[in-house]
Amino acid sequence: MYGYLRLVLSQKGIQNFFSDIFIIFVPLVLVFALLIGFTIYFISRAYTKPLQSIELMAENLTAGDFDYRIDYEGKDEFTETFSSINKSLEKVSVLNESYKKAEKRINALLQVVDESIILLDQKKEVVSYNESAVELFQCPLELLFESHFKQVQNMNAELKKLVDYVFEDEQNIRAREMILWLPDGRDVLARVSSFVFKEDDKLSGVLLTIKDQKLINELQRNLQRSMKFGVIANLASSISHEIKNPLSSMAIHAEILSVRFQDMEMENKDVVEKSLDVLQNEVKRLNRIISQFFNLARVKKTDLMLIDINKVVDDVLTLVSQQAIERNIKVEIDLCDPIERIYGDPDQLTQVILNILLNSFQAIHHDGIAKIRTRQESLSVRIEIEDNGCGMTPETQERLFELYYTTKHDGGGIGMAICKNIIEAHEGKIEFESMVDKGTTFYIELPRQDRTQQLKAAAEKNSE
């Protein structure tokens, strides 16, 4: 026997029920939503400020500011963490300062080294270099050295091949000689070496050292020349009287014979007189060569005094004026006026300028132009002597200042060596440019008053 339960709800009752629930439930939902919103806001705010502090710290570290510290005033779970981070930043700052000091010391060492030093990173990019490298490769002021060196590599396949080999095989190269062509058209005889840096058995960089071999060769020649001069000085001091006295006797007796033969009547008198003339001339030439030899070997003190280099040039022009007229050589003069007076020995400088100008006359031979100019530079006073003569061959240019080298049939090969010694005794330098059938230009640079080291050394010694 079955039964059933019948539930009867009116529509109005249902509506009233849901209406009562809505009135109660909606405010509750709104309250909970507000509570959740406020909770999220405060929680996010509590974490946002620490995150902003960390972001600001990262920006400062990226910019290289290792003195930055996190300023966090809150007292929560982040306080201890930020305190530890600040302590770590202090240590990093100390290390950074030590690194900067070490970097300055290394850069200072690089600058005083005469060799050209270039440091490349793993990508073969230049990361450091010294002034010697800039000077050797003649990097223009408006161009970055990194770009200039890359251009040099592209112009020199041998150098580029060497760099590639060092990076690929991680092997050091010792004293590899090569000619490097530069963008300005010059060439450099260089000796290149490399040193490989490794970290954790991986290549981290390569150090290139480049020596100007031409400079080394010049230093070697100067050393050999100095050794020769030393031997000559010792030889000259020991044989001066033994050579001078016989020469004087020969000259005197040749003069006596010449006078006596004028009053004598004999056959072939003109032949004998001609032979006597040859004897006298050869004795004079020998005496002149020996005198030059002694002047070169003798250590002569340079008597420095304030002089007007234009006055020295004028004195030389007076001496050569007659020869210029006889050879029909036009001498053009361009003297800087006013020009600063310099410390020098007027007699010695006259000898240098006179010797070079006479050589110019001989190179021109006849119907030509010789120019002499003076210029005042920032550190020196410059004398230029130019001619449009026959010029010098490469061999002559290479050996011009070499003792006893001459291209003249009656020359002793001493004059230019003496000139070089005199200019160097004045703390100056003498250089030249020459082209066959075009002419030659000599450049003489003498230090300005405040650049004369001899006087500075003397003043310091006197002050002591």
116 or 439, which is more confident: 439
Q: pLDDT at position 253, please?
A: 77
Of the listed ranges 8-12, 82-86, 239-243, 283-287, the one predicted with least confidence: 8-12
Could you give the CA distance from residue 158 to residue 160 in angstroms, rounded to a whole number?
5
The tens digit of pLDDT for each residue in 387-418 reads 999 999 988 888 888 776 777 766 666 778 88
Q: 37-51, 52-66, 431-445: which has the highest mean pLDDT?
A: 431-445
Of the candidate ranges 139-143, 153-157, 236-240, the one whose mean pLDDT is the lowest: 236-240
**What pLDDT band is residue 300 in, cutting at 50, 70 and 90?**
low
Confidence of residue 295 (pLDDT cuts 50, 70, 90): low
pLDDT (average), residues 343-349 = 89
Q: Which of 216, 426, 410 is nearest to 418 (CA)?
A: 426
Q: What is the pTM of this model?
A: 0.44
CA distance 274 to 457: 57
Q: Burial-class residue 395 by CB neighbours within 10 Å (0-12, 13-18, 19+).
A: exposed
Mean pLDDT, rounded, for 244-270: 75
The dihedrals phi and psi of 74, each to the nearest 5 degrees, come to -70, 155
pLDDT at 132: 83
pLDDT at 374: 95
Q: Residues 355-373: what's their mean pLDDT?
A: 91
**CB-based contact 360:387 (threshold 8 Å):** yes
Percentage of the chain lying above the pLDDT 70 cut: 70
Tally of CB atoms within 10 A around 51: 11
Q: Which amino acid is at 267?
A: E
67-82: per-residue pLDDT in tens? 777 666 666 666 677 6
Rounded CA-CA distance 203/196 in Å is 7
pLDDT value of residue 108:
61
Question: Is 80 exceeded by the pLDDT of residue 245?
Answer: no
Residue 9 has pLDDT above 60, yes or no: no
Residue 93 has pLDDT above 60, yes or no: yes
Q: Is the pLDDT of residue 243 over 60?
A: yes
The whole-number average pLDDT for the span 47-75 is 69
Higher pLDDT, 243 or 458: 243
Q: 459: pLDDT confidence band, cut at 50, 70 and 90?
A: very low
Q: How confident is the model at residue 462 (pLDDT cuts 50, 70, 90)?
A: very low
Per-residue pLDDT tens for 186-230?
888 888 888 888 887 888 888 888 888 776 666 666 656 665 666
**The predicted structure's pLDDT at residue 461:** 46
In 3D, which of 384, 391, 373 has the Cα closest to residue 434? Answer: 391
Of the candidates 416, 414, 422, which has an alpha carbon nearest to the alpha carbon of residue 291?
414
Mean pLDDT of the chain: 78
pLDDT confidence of residue 318: 87
CA distances from 438 to 4, 54, 187, 382, 408 (A): 137, 74, 22, 22, 19
Q: What is the pLDDT of residue 351?
A: 86
In this predicted structure, the answer to whether residue 90 has a pLDDT above a threshold of 60 is yes
Average pLDDT over residues 112-138: 83
Answer whether residue 299 shows pLDDT above 60. no
